[in-house]
Amino acid sequence: MAAGTYDSRSVTRVPHTAPRRTAWIPVAAQILIGSGAVGVIGLWWSDTTSVVGMEGWLTDGGRITGLLAGYACAVLLALMARIPVLDRSVGSDRLARWHAMGGRYTLSLALAHTLLIIWGYALTSHANVVDQTTTLVLHYPDLLKGTAGFLLLMGTALVSARAARRRLRYETWHYLHFATYVAVFLVFGHQLSNGADFVGNRSAQLAWYAMYLGVAALLVWFRFVVPLRRGLRHRLRVAEVRGESPGVVSVYVTGEHLDELGAESGQFFRWRFLTPGLWWAANPYSLSAPAHPRFLRITVKAVGAHSAALAGLTPGTRVWAEGPYGGFTAARRTTTKTLLLGGGVGITPLRALLETLPGDITLLYRARRPEDLALRGELDTIAAARGARILYSVDEPAAHHMPLTAAALLRYVPDLRERDVYLCGPPGMTDAARGALRDAGVPRHRIHHESFAF
């Protein structure tokens, strides 16, 4: 399709809407998770009459940690099911942090369960630990599969460790993480076959089945069925690729019934381009313009093999997009005044928000050189049309550099403490910005940030 077919410089009329209040949803989710853990402990309590001797304490400690580990596995999978109400209100990166923290607790509980049960059973049967381990693994129902699942969980944990992640491509890490599903499937059977709290307790068994089947249904529906339906419904294709600045391109994607997607400014999709070398990877890229009934646009900087290859996409390439995802939207606002603070290609979701966020808007855009200020023409056009203020800061030449400190921010944005701040950019820049904003007195709940780091 010829260049110029899509005009991304036209400005959307900004609705004057009040901020939506969704802060209660993350709190409610945490309360629900905590209540479930209390219920699991209650299951152990109701089934325990007394604890006698060291072997009793060890075995019952193994029971409690095993129950909590089994419950935590279900919670971890639910957090990554991409449930829209959680994704939009909590945010994808925050859910990922909950998932990572929960993963550490889960592995600790599973390890404690394994060691305590082996030790407790060994004391009860007057056997050594090695013989008792062999007996449990080889002769107890479903425990060989449970052991394989436990080892898979440990392997996933090693791959997820920060030192290991640095050595892996995002796509490789993402697919290795699917081993978690296999691990949980393998572990599930032994919980009901060997768990003292489930054997002979039909109500507990049914509740456990309901929890796991419910989570499985959410995973299948939101991670597989919904993307498949949308892919067939919207029939996305690459329409055009435009250069924006050195190493930065915009990819325009057209399709059918795009207004049904309900995508908001600030959200992202996981994009899979069905062309050799790219079809197997689904990478997250934010919309760099408000969703249009005829097209979607992403703007990408070449920082890896996948992002660099997008510059060579040809019109007509089929696209599979999962989403929209993320809570980096107008729903996060608590006031009618906003600062958009971006660095490098992190300008992409902020450019869309600049066009659609109502109220008093200031944009601070940082880059290394003037030519690295991607989409600058569009930003200036939008700012002029809606009366927004834009501040540009570059490292070179130094005369146009604004230090990322509390004093500098307050000098250029005197009413900073009264604003919500939407922050997007490279990790080092965003870490420094969060510190400067907190030092400047911006409340933590008004600093909104969503990261794709894995």
C-beta of residue 453 within 8 angstroms of C-beta of residue 431 = no
Per domain, the residue ranges of the chain are 24-225, 235-325, 331-449
Cis peptide before 290 (omega within 30 of 0): no
C-beta of residue 382 within 8 angstroms of C-beta of residue 360 = no
pLDDT per residue of the chain (454 residues) written in tens, 0 to 9: 333 445 555 555 454 444 555 678 888 999 999 999 999 999 988 888 777 789 889 999 999 999 999 999 999 999 988 898 888 888 888 888 898 889 889 999 999 999 999 999 999 998 899 999 999 888 888 888 889 888 888 888 777 766 666 666 766 766 677 788 888 888 888 888 888 888 888 999 999 999 999 999 999 999 999 999 999 999 999 999 999 988 899 999 999 999 999 999 999 999 999 999 888 888 899 999 999 999 999 999 988 788 889 999 999 999 999 989 988 999 889 999 999 999 988 999 999 999 999 999 999 999 999 988 999 999 999 999 999 999 999 988 877 788 899 999 999 999 999 999 999 998 889 999 999 999 999 999 899 988 765 4
d(CA 238, CA 257) in angstroms, rounded, equals 16
Question: Quick one: which of 244, 247, 243, 297 has its CA closest to 268?
Answer: 297
Kindly report the CATH number that applies to the domain delimited by 235-325. 2.40.30.10
Kindly report the CATH number that applies to the domain delimited by 331-449. 3.40.50.80
Cis peptide before 324 (omega within 30 of 0): yes
In sign, the C-alpha dihedral spanning 125, 131, 136, 139 is negative
Name the pTM for this structure. Answer: 0.80
The label of the residue with tokens 């919500």 reads: 420
